[in-house]
Chain A
């Protein structure tokens, strides 16, 4: 039973990483909007720079408000620690850049958020990091794609756009057999629905912009390390992770695995990647994400409850061809979802409208409660029609290859009264039914 000594999820969401401010007694987490922190003496300054003491020097590298967020997300995920970043994309880049460089290779799921696909396919290849994309459910393809220069395997807990459920235990086994870590994007599920480390993942990140902050107010990311991957053993077996196991000239010749058995990855990520790439989170953003985290358990329960009602309505509607939600028996990953996501499959999903692109536009424009925009995981319900927005340059054949139909609509179900959401959808479906 969770108690004071072994706090449960809801308690951690409110308390992990924070206690009343010792200087002022402030109960809520203070926002430390300061670039830098005064040294007590020259000796104190030198010892902070040389990692002889723990503490804050400059807010690009660490900040007390951000540290509360980092500890709290790590606690909720069952991790060793975390780093807050400027965005989810920055978290993904930081994870990759910490252990990969020119000549490295990644094996990634093909069912990815468009921004992640762009980073891997177009941008990182320009810097010499290649990616092989495989279908998330094709285990042999994951295994076959691994090369000597592969540095990590990467997928989303629930993939875009069809909510493919990543079989984390199986993919983690494939990764570990090859002495590789598995990184997952856990944005759609949050730790309330799934804790990927308990299924074998080694690293994860969130776009905190979505459910963690939950109110559509800030852009942010969090990279979390399980602390479980043995970089020394993997390097001994494969020669791959010398970034962590050999002296690093860029930081006092430090061998990160010597300094911390469980935090080597985060040490290098913070002391190189955050320092040099600089994609750090504003303390104000960290504070807003913390406000969201405090109600994450309550919000996620309601998000899922509302999503189930909307899914049931849409699945029974004659104007809807298909609803891609893993809790439905018609979804190809239904059994996997029951095993890995017993609390639910989140509140973001796609469905196919019976009709043309034009009817898709009509549907969107008829909605009154759903907001038409490019985001998910807000407390307000959101909608987007990929064929007329994010993928508008594609013809119908190209859309089909991307798993998107002319009438595919993506919804992010918020916290409104579910009956109001269903009424809104009913009205829009009626409008779209007229050719």
Chain B
């Protein structure tokens, strides 16, 4: 579905994938936020599972990505505001916030800006700070497709992710590469690679945001992640008092280990909340 959403850049149509079902805003909601140069299609399996198990699913394309109109927003904070406005437009009051990579920072910030609206926070393939190598940004300036190839290579930990995504016969390196290239090429106004990676690089509010989070939080990390290295999560995990789950995967957790990630998400979202921990 498409929803008109207000942001600092104006009012633009946002595309929202619902996991194969129309959104019922009266159901418990799960909002899935994709990462840099991705779109909603990285969530297909998880979104379909939750949509067919009693949840309302909201998996948008971020502004300027794939089917969502408007310029790409240039800070985690602005995108978090846009995400909350999207939930308003969808008629969703509360949601489980799930994000991958750049999307995990957006989910964190959105949940911090409206703590009463977040029932769970799940940050997948995350790190804080999410610093980006200056060398990569330099390559991205002159040749974004070469930078995509580099990111794609570092995002995968295996040449045999099984049972593949979204189904057998897909070559994960190839499908992720072409997705990133299409998202990049589809945004004519600016160099979207630079926009997205700068959004990650600049975000400095993570620990402050984490302190405002009131709901249970889970980090799901790829033990072999070379993009957001698991060792760079200790501070944010502590600030969130988060449960940390490590899976045998690289950065591309949704595609390399879809079943294990589903199990981790089910635990994170469906387990009854424990009593708030004492700081």
Residues of chain A whose beta carbon lies under 8 Å from any beta carbon of chain B: 5-7, 12, 15-19, 47, 50-56, 62-64, 66-68, 70-71, 74-75, 78-84, 226-228, 230, 232, 252-254, 258-263, 266-267, 270
Bound-state Cα–Cα, A229 to B20, Å = 22
26 contacts across the A-B interface (CB closer than 8 A)? A6-B149, A7-B159, A12-B159, A15-B159, A16-B171, A51-B44, A51-B48, A52-B49, A53-B258, A54-B166, A55-B259, A56-B168, A62-B169, A66-B168, A74-B170, A226-B178, A227-B175, A227-B179, A228-B178, A259-B41, A259-B44, A259-B48, A259-B166, A261-B179, A263-B175, A266-B169
User: Which B residues are in CB contact (< 8 Å) with A78?
Assistant: 174
- Would A62 and B49 count as touching, CB distance under 8 A? no
User: Which A residues are in CB contact (< 8 Å) with B171?
Assistant: 16-17, 70-71, 74-75, 79-82
- A-side interface mostly: loop
User: Which A residues are in CB contact (< 8 Å) with B205?
Assistant: none
Specify which of A47, A56, A82 lies most central, judged by the most chain B CB atoms within 10 Å of its CB: A47
Residue of B with least CB distance to A69: B169
Report A32 CB to chain B, min CB distance, Å.
Answer: 11
- Would A261 and B39 count as touching, CB distance under 8 A? yes
- Would B164 and A260 count as touching, CB distance under 8 A? no
Q: Could you mark each residue 121-164 of chain B with 1 if its beta carbon is under 8 Å from any beta carbon of chain A, else 0? A: 00000000000000000000000000001000110001110111
Q: Known: A17-B160, A227-B174, A259-B20. Is A52-B169 also a contact (CB below 8 A)?
A: no
User: Which B residues are in CB contact (< 8 Å) with A266?
Assistant: 169-170
Specify which of B49, B160, B171, B226 lies most central, judged by the most chain A CB atoms within 10 Å of its CB: B171
User: Which A residues are in CB contact (< 8 Å) with B165?
Assistant: 54
- Would B168 and A261 count as touching, CB distance under 8 A? no
- Would B175 and A5 count as touching, CB distance under 8 A? no
Among A52, A64, A66, A252, the residue within 8 A (CB) of B45 is A52
Bound-state Cα–Cα, A402 to B181, Å = 42
- Would A71 and B164 count as touching, CB distance under 8 A? yes
- Would B160 and A258 count as touching, CB distance under 8 A? no
Q: Known: A80-B175, A227-B174. Is A62-B149 also a contact (CB below 8 A)?
A: no
User: Which B residues are in CB contact (< 8 Å) with A67?
Assistant: 162-164, 168-169
Bound-state Cα–Cα, A53 to B162, Å = 11
Residue of B with least CB distance to A40: B259
Q: Could you mark each residue 28-40 of chain B with 1 if its beta carbon is under 8 Å from any beta carbon of chain A, else 0? A: 0000000000010
Among A64, A75, A267, the residue within 8 A (CB) of B166 is A267
Among A18, A55, A64, A81, the residue within 8 A (CB) of B175 is A81
- Would B154 and A5 count as touching, CB distance under 8 A? yes
- Would B41 and A262 count as touching, CB distance under 8 A? yes
* B34-72, CB < 8 A from A: 39, 41, 44-45, 48-49, 52, 66-67
Q: Known: A5-B154, A228-B178, A259-B20. Is A82-B167 also a contact (CB below 8 A)?
A: no
Bound-state Cα–Cα, A228 to B174, Å = 11
- Would A81 and B174 count as touching, CB distance under 8 A? yes
User: Which B residues are in CB contact (< 8 Å) with A5?
Assistant: 153-154, 226
Bound-state Cα–Cα, A147 to B179, Å = 30
Report A191 CB to chain B, min CB distance, Å.
Answer: 12
- Would B158 and A54 count as touching, CB distance under 8 A? no
Residue of A with least CB distance to B175: A80
- Would A6 and B153 count as touching, CB distance under 8 A? yes
User: Which A residues are in CB contact (< 8 Å) with B172?
Assistant: 71
Bound-state Cα–Cα, A47 to B49, Å = 7
Report A286 CB to chain B, min CB distance, Å.
Answer: 11
- Would B158 and A260 count as touching, CB distance under 8 A? no
Bound-state Cα–Cα, A363 to B170, Å = 47
Q: Known: A50-B48, A75-B174. Is A260-B41 also a contact (CB below 8 A)?
A: yes
- Would A18 and B163 count as touching, CB distance under 8 A? no
Known: A54-B168, A63-B168. 8 other contacts (CB 8 A): A12-B159, A16-B160, A47-B49, A75-B174, A82-B171, A227-B182, A260-B41, A261-B179
Residue of B with least CB distance to A73: B171
Q: Is B17 an interface residue (CB 8 A)?
A: yes
Q: Is B173 an interface residue (CB 8 A)?
A: yes
Report A125 CB to chain B, min CB distance, Å.
Answer: 30
- Would B170 and A263 count as touching, CB distance under 8 A? yes
Q: Is B262 an interface residue (CB 8 A)?
A: yes
Report A246 CB to chain B, min CB distance, Å.
Answer: 14
Bound-state Cα–Cα, A230 to B48, Å = 23
- Would A71 and B153 count as touching, CB distance under 8 A? no
User: Which B residues are in CB contact (< 8 Å) with A262?
Assistant: 41, 175, 178-179, 182
User: Which B residues are in CB contact (< 8 Å) with A15?
Assistant: 159-160
User: Which B residues are in CB contact (< 8 Å) with A19?
Assistant: 158-160
User: Which A residues are in CB contact (< 8 Å) with B179?
Assistant: 227, 261-262
User: Which B residues are in CB contact (< 8 Å) with A74?
Assistant: 169-171, 174
Among B45, B160, B166, B259, the residue within 8 A (CB) of A18 is B160
User: Which A residues are in CB contact (< 8 Å) with B17?
Assistant: 258
Q: Known: A19-B158, A228-B182, A267-B167. Is A79-B259 also a contact (CB below 8 A)?
A: no
User: Which B residues are in CB contact (< 8 Å) with A63?
Assistant: 168
Report A210 CB to chain B, min CB distance, Å.
Answer: 21
- Would A232 and B67 count as touching, CB distance under 8 A? yes
Residue of B with least CB distance to A82: B169
- Would B178 and A80 count as touching, CB distance under 8 A? yes
Specify which of A50, A71, A84 lies most central, judged by the most chain B CB atoms within 10 Å of its CB: A71
Specify which of A12, A63, A67, A228 lies most central, judged by the most chain B CB atoms within 10 Å of its CB: A67
Q: Known: A18-B160, A260-B44. Is A54-B20 also a contact (CB below 8 A)?
A: no
Bound-state Cα–Cα, A218 to B179, Å = 34
User: Which A residues are in CB contact (< 8 Å) with B174?
Assistant: 74-75, 78-81, 227
